[in-house]
Amino acid sequence: MRRSGRLLTWTAALVALLTAVVTVSAGIGPVWIPPATVGKILLNALALPTGVELAGGVPRLVTTSPFAYPVEDVQRQIVVQVRLPRILLGAVVGFSLAAAGTIMQGIFRNPMADPSIIGVSSGAAVGAVGFIVVPFAVPFGLGLRGAAFAGALVAAFGVYLIATRNGETPVATLLLAGVAIQTFLGAVVSFLLLQAGESIRRALFWLMGHLKSATWLDVSTSLLLVAVPFLVLLAYTRDLNVMLLGEEDAQGLGIEVERTKRVLLAVSAVITAAGVAVAGIIGFVGLIVPHVMRLLVGPDHRILLPTAALAGPPSSSRRTRSPGLAARRCPSASSRPRSARRFSSISSASGRCTNYDCRRVADARRPEPVGIVRRRAGPLGRRLHRRPGDARRPRRPERRRQDHDAAGAPGDADARRGASPRRGQPAPRPVGEGGESPRREHAPGDDALV
């Protein structure tokens, strides 16, 4: 099959897969919406421009939808205003990370390369955590995401400056500089987390990655920052194929290696920063998706780059799961206020909530039997502590030993010598005056026993 035919086939298949994933994902949540209803809502949301009108002296584009399927307004609001922005933003982030990962693996010729190898993710983490711990002014009111985007670009630019000598940027030096800067920025993030105080929860929430606060403005901004640079990457796919032979061979074939690396690194840093700034640190898509698609379509970047970029959104759709679904299954979510409910992961094997707070609340609910002795670590080792109010367990009565016969009892000899009995022997019988054992009085009937 020709290259164009393969590209069209894989593109059509991946677009169909992406459409199915978006449709199914938009119906999953605390409020279940059938895929057929979601499809009708998506078709009703399609709008075609029909004209221009003046609203207060400002021209405004007039759009009309060619479809008018009857759907409930509540379901339409849930899909269009809540779920669809999260899903599409996750698709844009997966698209950008998969494309950047493909470029990085081609430049470094290393299967372990990913978009964060030049310190983009670590720089974004420093910018975001620094803004959370010590808020500072960000131009144009971009706030947290603007700080993360700026930190990612500064880190990538710093790595490039460190690795460049006399106008040349060796791949090995660039790799080592990226690892060093990434490690250093990771230490900076750890220090900022120690100084975070009450804001540490927000910082950790950003570092784990989320799409909870996604809006249509975030989707449009991220799409603009990803789509235009991606067209630049498509223009350099042929040069990237030649660079796989080696820099010297590519230079001999007429490829400007240094300029190509400079452009590819800059564009990859931009699209990676755009994805990390809105979704947090995600390290799975950019590393795995290019390898999977390379096994399916081959190493030709003219086919690999667009197909890997289209395969990234379905791979990142697992992060668009609605937090309300987990809160509904969590045993302790119903007892907490709505403002305090957070996303709780559900273990697929046991079906139990793995969130620490949820397990703590569930354990507090579980009644414990009275009289349980807890072991707590103390300065001198383990001590036994009993909770106040618990009933004490009665001690076991000591076993009473029968006295030995007066003639062969070893305790009598010890008592006559004035020594204490040895451990494990019965206590001595009382001794009368003169060292003799007291005699029992003669009772009537004893003569009959003789």
Q: What local confidence, expressed as pLDDT, does residue 36 receive?
A: 92
pTM equals: 0.68
Main-chain dihedrals φ then ψ at residue 444, nearest 5 degrees: -60, 140
Say how many residues make up the chain: 450
- Is there a single domain that holds both residue 247 and residue 312? yes
Would 423 be classed as within a structural domain?
Answer: no
Q: Tens place of pLDDT for every residue, the chain, 450 residues?
A: 577 888 899 999 999 999 999 999 999 988 899 999 999 999 988 887 777 777 766 777 777 888 888 889 999 999 999 999 999 999 999 999 999 999 999 999 888 888 889 999 999 999 999 988 887 767 666 788 888 999 999 999 999 999 998 888 899 999 999 999 999 999 999 999 998 888 888 889 888 888 888 889 889 999 999 999 999 999 999 999 999 888 888 888 888 999 999 999 999 999 999 999 988 888 788 899 999 999 999 899 999 999 999 998 876 654 444 443 333 334 344 444 444 443 333 333 333 444 433 444 344 444 444 444 444 444 444 444 445 554 455 555 444 444 444 445 444 444 444 545 555 555 555 554 444 545 555 555 444 444
Return the amino acid letter for 259.
R
Q: What local confidence, expressed as pLDDT, does residue 5 receive?
A: 85
Would 211 be classed as within a structural domain?
Answer: yes
Contacts of range 86-89, beta carbons closer than 8 Å, 24 or more positions apart: 86/211, 86/212, 86/214, 86/320, 87/22, 87/25, 87/26, 87/317, 87/320, 88/22, 88/219, 89/211, 89/214, 89/218, 89/219, 89/222, 89/278, 89/279, 89/320
- Domain around 89: 80-321
The domain total for the chain is 2
Q: What local confidence, expressed as pLDDT, does residue 212 receive?
A: 82
**Rounded CA separation 328/333 (Å):** 7
- Is there a single domain that holds both residue 253 and residue 364? no
**Rounded CA separation 213/322 (Å):** 12
- Is there a single domain that holds both residue 237 and residue 356? no
Would 447 be classed as within a structural domain?
Answer: no
- Specify whether the CB–CB gap between 386 and 417 falls below 8 A: no
Please report how many Cα atoms fall inside a 13 Å half-sphere around the Cα of residue 104, on the Cβ side: 33
- Is there a single domain that holds both residue 272 and residue 348? no
Would 239 be classed as within a structural domain?
Answer: yes
Return the amino acid letter for 387.
R
- Is there a single domain that holds both residue 216 and residue 291? yes
Would 8 be classed as within a structural domain?
Answer: no
Would 100 be classed as within a structural domain?
Answer: yes
- Is there a single domain that holds both residue 177 and residue 299? yes
Q: What local confidence, expressed as pLDDT, does residue 4 receive?
A: 81
- Is there a single domain that holds both residue 329 and residue 290? no
- Is there a single domain that holds both residue 274 and residue 156? yes
Q: What local confidence, expressed as pLDDT, does residue 142 receive?
A: 76
Q: What local confidence, expressed as pLDDT, does residue 155 receive?
A: 94
Q: What local confidence, expressed as pLDDT, does residue 116 receive?
A: 87
Would 20 be classed as within a structural domain?
Answer: no
Would 170 be classed as within a structural domain?
Answer: yes
- Is there a single domain that holds both residue 151 and residue 188? yes
**Rounded CA separation 312/95 (Å):** 5
Measuring CA to CA, how many Å separate 317 from each of 30, 43, 91, 308, 374?
A: 17, 21, 7, 15, 45
- Is there a single domain that holds both residue 157 and residue 290? yes
Q: What local confidence, expressed as pLDDT, does residue 369 receive?
A: 45
- Is there a single domain that holds both residue 275 and residue 328? no
- Specify whether the CB–CB gap between 122 and 200 falls below 8 A: no
- Is there a single domain that holds both residue 307 and residue 202? yes
Write down which residue in 321, 354, 385 finishes a domain: 321
**Domain harbouring 153, CATH code:** 1.10.3470.10
Return the amino acid letter for 318.
R
